[in-house]
Amino acid sequence: MGVTDDQITHLEDKATQIREDIIKMLLEAGSGHSAGSLGTADIFTTLYFHVMKHDPKNPEWEERDRFVLSNGHICPVLYATLAEAGYFPVEELMTLRKLGSRLQGHPHRGSVPGLEASGGPLAQGISVAVGMAVAGRINGKKSRVYCMVGDGEMDEGQVWEAILFAGKNKLRNFTLIIDRNNIQIDGFTENVMPLEPLKDKLAAFGFHVIEVGGHDIRTLIEAFDEARDVFEKPTVLLAHTIPGKGVDFMEFKPEWHGKPPNKEEAKKALRELDELRTLGGKITCEHE
Amino acid sequence: MSKKLNQKLHLAKNIFTGPDQVPQRNGYGEGVVEAGKKNENVVVLCCDLTESTRSAEFVETFPERFVEMGISEQNMAGIAAGMAFSGKIPYISSYAVFSPGRNWDQTRVSICYSMANVKIMGAHAGISVGPDGATHQALEDIAITRCLPNMTVIVPCDYFEAKRAAIAISEINGPVYMRFGREKVPVITTEKTPFKIGRAETYTEGKDVAIIACGSLVYEALVAAEELAKDGVDCKVINSHTVKPIDRKTIIKAAEETGAVVTAEEHQVHGGLGSAVAEVLAQECPVPVEYVAVMDRFGESGQPDELMKKFGLSADGIKTAVKKVLKRKN
């Protein structure tokens, strides 16, 4: 099934919109995780606006595909995506991390429609997602379960318990996405706790492994299509992403893992994103 | 027998003459099969311990509804939550030291915070696990589950109660922790004995002191009450099988009527049934309380009966506590 250039452009615009939302909500919140949220915006866009079968008007639809965010700290991107998809008003994004808000600092199942699992304490989400895939199989459903984990998160033993289990049970309805951005709080993953050779490890645990660039939407779509076509095992997308992607001064910087932009930085970031959207100012909707 | 048992409860007739001896875990094993027959959404997960947790009967009856987890308690808690979010009612079984011990974080976030309809079955709880020693003797499990919002905590006294509870918990929505021991213990209830989650049952009336117990200590409490009656001490005995939500009304009434309370459980003194009872009484009806429990120390290897005796988790231990609390009573 081919994807047209127009469709890709539309999806790229959506990703930029989500990045703008992320900058604005993090500025307003005054705390939160910038790098991973921006770095995965293309993956979220691809999933929620092209790949996944879901219905924002009927969030409990039994046949829906499910997505679980295991690295819950990057929930700004999940909230922005859910809002842009129509699960709740976009304006509500500005309540992130505030008293009385539905948008908790880390995801809370039951808070907003479309949010499938609580998460934050790392590795919990992947087990929950695998549980959904097992239940889906027992229930005879055709729906798929997608789950994102961070690469630093893979230090946790529970991640490997879940991977071992999914491999054993040949959960072909389960697709794992590893946000391979190579950073974690104390620095680069290969210094903190080396994961390589990650591809070999995942294959050895019984997964079909697809290495993919995490920002090329067309390639991402192809990878998710391939995952759906693999019948004998679960698939993992080892998605190489740039932390802070889209905002030049944040890219590849571990220090942006867990902090929000200040007012000046947010202004600069939004200007950059706007240029991305308008192809360097070449496209404008303002009349002369 | 000098104490009159509450007739409405249809308790076993041979309690004081030689009760049947059956492990509580057998009740779980049969109860979860019944629950599975009633509701096709009931599934069982187990961490490589199907025989000793007594999940095995379910595995045989509903093989397609059983999930073998291998030795991975943390993963089991999460997978159960995910299954619950897809309409299943998972019972997860392992030894209590591992589940909810090792997977407490997952129990807290994936299950309780998310209001997942998961039933945690903690086997081999208490010091009576015996020769395996302190590592395998869960004495903190009530404390670490009782403090979690949304959680219900049940400690059945015997085989029939475990069976009734295993069925009843499938009918309520939300996380439940139920613990049971390894050893055979006296069967004091019958198929006719009423069981309602959250309602403590008064087994014998008495005016001098109330003994509030759970698990296998309920039988010990009855024996202690019977022996104390010969010394002229009139004991009320209450089975508080649900530790959370605790039956405040029954506990307050007992304290008001007797003016002295002894709690008894196979658990650390800090955080278990005794603490739950004291929390209620401190607020509503402060009376002297004595605790029969493990006194802030780890267990050790030994035969179950030797350990129960050494740690005072026995009718004798309860009698000593009753005498102590009576001295403090005005």
Q: Which domains are delineated in chain B?
A: 7-19+194-328 (3.40.50.920), 22-186 (3.40.50.970)
Residue A8 scores a pLDDT above 50: yes
Residue B224: enclosing H or E segment and its boundaries? helix B217-230
By percentage, how much of chain B surpasses pLDDT 70? 99
Cβ B107 vs Cβ A126: under 8 Å: no
CA distances for A199 relative to A18, A195, A209, angstroms: 29, 9, 7
- The alpha carbon of residue A252 is apart from the nearest alpha carbon of chain B, in Å, by 31
- The whole-number pLDDT of residue A288 equals 41
Tokens of A21: 């939302």
Closest by Cβ to B114, choosing from A118, A135, A136: A118
| Per-residue pLDDT reduced to its tens digit, A108-125 | 999 999 999 999 999 999
- Which is the catalytic residue, given B73, B161, B226, B265? B73
* Averaged pLDDT, A42-50: 98
Give the nearest chain A residue to B44 (CA atoms): A135
Question: Is B72 in contact with A131 (Cβ distance < 8 A)?
Answer: no
Using a CB-CB distance cutoff of 8 angstroms, which residues of chain B are in contact with residue A157? Answer: 74
Alpha helix ranges (H) inside A184-257: 189-192, 198-204, 217-229
Question: Is A158 in contact with B64 (Cβ distance < 8 A)?
Answer: no
Residue A238 scores a pLDDT above 80: yes
Nearest to B121 by CA among B82, B85, B69, B86: B69
- The whole-number pLDDT of residue A219 equals 97
- The whole-number pLDDT of residue A253 equals 87
Give the nearest chain B residue to A147 (CA atoms): B82
Question: Is A138 in contact with B43 (Cβ distance < 8 A)?
Answer: yes
Question: Is B115 in contact with A158 (Cβ distance < 8 A)?
Answer: no
CATH number at residue A102: 3.40.50.970
Q: In whole angstroms, give the CA distance from residue A168 to residue A163.
A: 8
Give the nearest chain B residue to A128 (CA atoms): B82
For residue A284, name the pLDDT band (cuts at 50, 70, 90): low
Residue A287 scores a pLDDT above 70: no
- The alpha carbon of residue B32 is apart from the nearest alpha carbon of chain A, in Å, by 19
φ/ψ bin of A101: left (φ > 0), alpha (ψ from -120 to 50), beta (otherwise): beta
Give the residue numbers spanning the domain of A189: 5-277
Count other Cβ atoms within 10 Å, centred on residue A274: 13
Tokens of B198: 């959250």
- The alpha carbon of residue A275 is apart from the nearest alpha carbon of chain B, in Å, by 41
| Strands in chain A per DSSP E | 66-69, 145-150, 174-180, 183-184, 187-188, 208-213, 235-240
Sign of CA dihedral B156, B55, B171, B107: positive
Question: Is B79 in contact with A164 (Cβ distance < 8 A)?
Answer: no
The number of C-beta contacts closer than 8 angstroms across A and B is: 104
Residue B160 scores a pLDDT above 80: yes
Kindly state whether residue A105 falls inside one of the protein's structural domains. Answer: yes
Residue A99 scores a pLDDT above 70: yes
In B22-54, which positions are buried (b, 16+ CB within 10 angstroms) versus exposed (e)? bbbbbbbbbbbbbbbeeeebbbbbbbebbebbb
Using a CB-CB distance cutoff of 8 angstroms, which residues of chain A are in contact with residue B79? Answer: 127-128, 130-131, 134, 162, 165
Active site annotation includes B73: yes
Kindly state whether residue A33 falls inside one of the protein's structural domains. Answer: yes
Total domains in chain A come to 1
Kindly state whether residue A86 falls inside one of the protein's structural domains. Answer: yes
Kindly state whether residue A121 falls inside one of the protein's structural domains. Answer: yes
Kindly state whether residue A40 falls inside one of the protein's structural domains. Answer: yes
- The whole-number pLDDT of residue B1 equals 56
Closest by Cβ to B113, choosing from A118, A130, A135: A118
Identify the burial level of A270 via C-beta atoms within 10 angstroms of its C-beta, where 0-12 means exposed, 13-18 middle and 19 or more buried: middle
Question: Is B83 in contact with A131 (Cβ distance < 8 A)?
Answer: yes
Residue B210 scores a pLDDT above 80: yes
Kindly state whether residue A32 falls inside one of the protein's structural domains. Answer: yes
Residue B39 scores a pLDDT above 70: yes
Question: Is B83 in contact with A135 (Cβ distance < 8 A)?
Answer: yes
- The alpha carbon of residue A132 is apart from the nearest alpha carbon of chain B, in Å, by 5
Q: In whole angstroms, give the CA distance from residue B98 to residue B136.
A: 9
Residue A38 scores a pLDDT above 60: yes
Using a CB-CB distance cutoff of 8 angstroms, which residues of chain A are in contact with residue B115? Answer: 109-110
B306 vs A: CB within 8 A = no
Residue A15 scores a pLDDT above 90: yes
Tokens of B155: 């400690």
| Most A-contacting residue of B114, B115, B118 (CB-CB within 10 A), to test interface | B114
* Averaged pLDDT, A166-174: 98
- The alpha carbon of residue A169 is apart from the nearest alpha carbon of chain B, in Å, by 10
- The alpha carbon of residue A271 is apart from the nearest alpha carbon of chain B, in Å, by 39
| Per-residue pLDDT reduced to its tens digit, B218-242 | 999 999 999 999 999 999 999 999 9
Residue B154 scores a pLDDT above 60: yes
| Per-residue pLDDT reduced to its tens digit, B66-75 | 999 999 999 9
- The alpha carbon of residue A165 is apart from the nearest alpha carbon of chain B, in Å, by 7
Closest by Cβ to B82, choosing from A110, A130, A139: A130
Q: ∠ CA(A270), CA(A273), CA(A275), 5° rounding?
A: 110
* Averaged pLDDT, A57-79: 97
DSSP tag of B103? T
Closest by Cβ to A132, choosing from B77, B86, B113: B86
Find the radius of gyration of the CA atoms of chain B: 19
Residue A21 scores a pLDDT above 80: yes
Q: Which residue type, as a one-letter code, is found at position B243? A: V
Using a CB-CB distance cutoff of 8 angstroms, which residues of chain B are in contact with residue A122? Answer: none
Question: Is A132 in contact with B75 (Cβ distance < 8 A)?
Answer: no
- The whole-number pLDDT of residue A2 equals 81
- The whole-number pLDDT of residue B215 equals 98
| Packing angle, helices A263-277 and A5-29, rounded to 10 | 170
- Which residues of A, range 156-185, sit inside 8 Å of B by Cβ? 157-158, 161-162, 164-165, 168
* Averaged pLDDT, B25-30: 98
Please give the mean pLDDT across all residues of chain B.
97
Residue B85: enclosing H or E segment and its boundaries? helix B73-85
Q: What is the pTM assigned to this prediction?
A: 0.96
- The whole-number pLDDT of residue A282 equals 56
ipTM of the complex: 0.95
Using a CB-CB distance cutoff of 8 angstroms, which residues of chain B are in contact with residue A137? Answer: none
Using a CB-CB distance cutoff of 8 angstroms, which residues of chain B are in contact with residue A135? Answer: 82-83, 85-88
For residue A254, name the pLDDT band (cuts at 50, 70, 90): confident
- Which residues of B, range 83-102, sit inside 8 Å of A by Cβ? 83-88
For residue B2, name the pLDDT band (cuts at 50, 70, 90): low
Counted residue by residue, chain B has a size of: 330
| Per-residue pLDDT reduced to its tens digit, B113-145 | 999 999 999 999 999 999 999 999 999 999 999
